[in-house]
Structure 1
Amino acid sequence: MSRSLPLLLNTDAIEAWPAALLRARGNADARLLARARWVLRRKRDGRYLAAIFDHGVHSLIPHLPQEPGAAEALDALSWLNPQRGSGPLEQRLLSPQGLHERLQQLGLDADAYAANTGLALEAEPVLLHFAGRDRFGRPLWLRRGAAQAWRRMRLQAAREGIALDAISGYRSHDYQLGIFERKLARGQRVAEILKVNAAPGFSEHHSGMALDIGTPGDPPAEASFEETAAFAWLQEHAAWHGFRMSYPRGNPHGIVHEPWHWRWCGS
């Protein structure tokens, strides 16, 4: 495993991040991250669980062996080595079975939601590639083809005097579930939340193939993006790079027009 390997390894409960891309949360973390290759990060709340070194594992929580998903994540890391490479993992997707159960706990029927909206359940990929950083300095994760296409498209735009930046890329089911759980805890009902948030599992961001695009000086994920030179450039050139706008006006899913949201469909 290379220290600079720009990959995120995804399992049901835990992500393995390259340590060099994570921000330290204190002096002790900083010293560990400076030497570690990988960090196990709990998807549900972002907590760092363990630092992975060439010589072993340093637990950052009590009772790491009892942490749900820890053994699975450590085992998955064994597939990322110079002999095997990342090839065997590129097309793997996580099973959505656990998601169905958690949606039921929230009072959401996944099959009914899919039938009503025409949206597909998006499985999470096992492997994601570092595609640079977003506007807020966070690592941007996408599937390999989407990451390569985004880099090429952004470079072409820059050469033509157009600045594109990413607002967000891959987001996990857990991230979306967290939004729902926090809003429910504040007293909102599921029907209210669904007016502004896609049901967990049904956002294209889960696939690692979609990203929200902006341009410096324009607020993120706002209708005003449609009036920018960057949007005009995307309309003319994005398809050549394999990107399409997912939610134009009058889309069949009933989703508000999102000129900033583009999905890579291959090129």
Structure 2
Amino acid sequence: MTIASYGEDIYQRFEYLDSDAAKALMKLIYSARNDGVWIVSVSAFRDVERQRLLFENQVERRGSIEAASKISAPPGYSEHHTGLTVDLADGRFPKQDITSQFENTDAFRWLQKNAEKFGFEMSFPAENKQGVMYEPWHWRFVGSENARAIFAKAKNLF
């Protein structure tokens, strides 16, 4: 289900989520707006080829597959492949999307207090069991039985 458009002109892309996750996200976004907070989706479903390009870019920037894996999932292993994960930003601070500075926004503070009500949780909090870099912008939908089953293994590591 289409949930958003991000970018303009040749950089414009459309974002997609599983229908249950998309409906929950729309409810979350409108609830936040009612509270004066502007949450926007900047990245959702990714196919394996798109993830391959992102991962290869990180390998080049970081110098190794191991270092890149702390920043970006290898193709075939990204939560974005499930259609249940979305990267969120504060619409008032677009330059802070997909950065740790997102944690200093009203959108992040609102998500910490309210995301669970809509079936979302932060995938990679600080010092997460998976050893993935802290990503305050990266949220997964766990509000359905199917979604909980998909992420159960990641949540119960170690």
Global fold match (TM > 0.5): yes
How much is the aligned-residue C-alpha RMSD, in angstroms? 2.3
Q: Secondary structure, in 3 states, of the residue corresponding to 2:125?
A: coil
CA change 1:213–1:183 in 2 (3 A) is closer
- The answer for the alignment partner of 1:248 in structure 2 is 125
CA change 1:217–1:202 in 2 (3 A) is same
Q: Secondary structure, in 3 states, of the residue corresponding to 1:140?
A: strand
Identify the match of residue 264 of structure 1 among 125, 136, 141.
141
Identity of aligned residues (%): 34
Does the Cα contact within 8 Å between 1:135 and 1:166 map onto a contact in 2? Answer: no
Does the Cα contact within 8 Å between 1:243 and 1:266 map onto a contact in 2? Answer: yes
CA change 1:151–1:196 in 2 (3 A) is same
255-264 vs 195-204, which moves further:
195-204
Q: Secondary structure, in 3 states, of the residue corresponding to 1:196?
A: coil
Aligned counterparts of 1:185 and 1:257: Cα–Cα separation in 2:
21
Matches within 5 A, 1:195-214: 195-214=70-89
- The answer for the alignment partner of 2:13 in structure 1 is 138
Aligned counterparts of 2:37 and 2:97: Cα–Cα separation in 1:
16
Aligned counterparts of 2:132 and 2:85: Cα–Cα separation in 1:
16
Q: Does 1:215 align with 2:87?
A: no
- Residue type matched to 1:204 in 2? E
Equivalent pairs counted in the alignment come to 139
Does the Cα contact within 8 Å between 1:223 and 1:258 map onto a contact in 2? Answer: yes
Identify the match of residue 46 of structure 2 among 149, 165, 171.
171
Pairwise CA distance, 1:233: 0.8
TM value normalised by structure 2? 0.78
- The answer for the alignment partner of 2:68 in structure 1 is 193
CA deviations on 1:153-206 (whole Å, 9 max, x unpaired) are: 1011111111001110000111112334567789x5433432432111111111
Unaligned runs of 5+ in 1: 1-128
Matches within 5 A, 1:100-111: none
Aligned counterparts of 2:28 and 2:59: Cα–Cα separation in 1:
39
Looking at secondary structure, tell me which structure has more helix per residue. 2
- Residue type matched to 1:246 in 2? S
CA change 1:142–1:255 in 2 (3 A) is same
Does the Cα contact within 8 Å between 1:134 and 1:165 map onto a contact in 2? Answer: no
- Residue type matched to 1:235 in 2? Q
Q: Secondary structure, in 3 states, of the residue corresponding to 1:145?
A: helix
Aligned counterparts of 1:253 and 1:239: Cα–Cα separation in 2:
20
Q: Does 1:237 align with 2:114?
A: yes
CA change 1:241–1:161 in 2 (3 A) is same
Unaligned runs of 5+ in 2: 145-158
- Residue type matched to 1:222 in 2? T
152-161 vs 191-200, which moves further:
191-200
Aligned counterparts of 2:107 and 2:60: Cα–Cα separation in 1:
39
TM value normalised by structure 1? 0.48
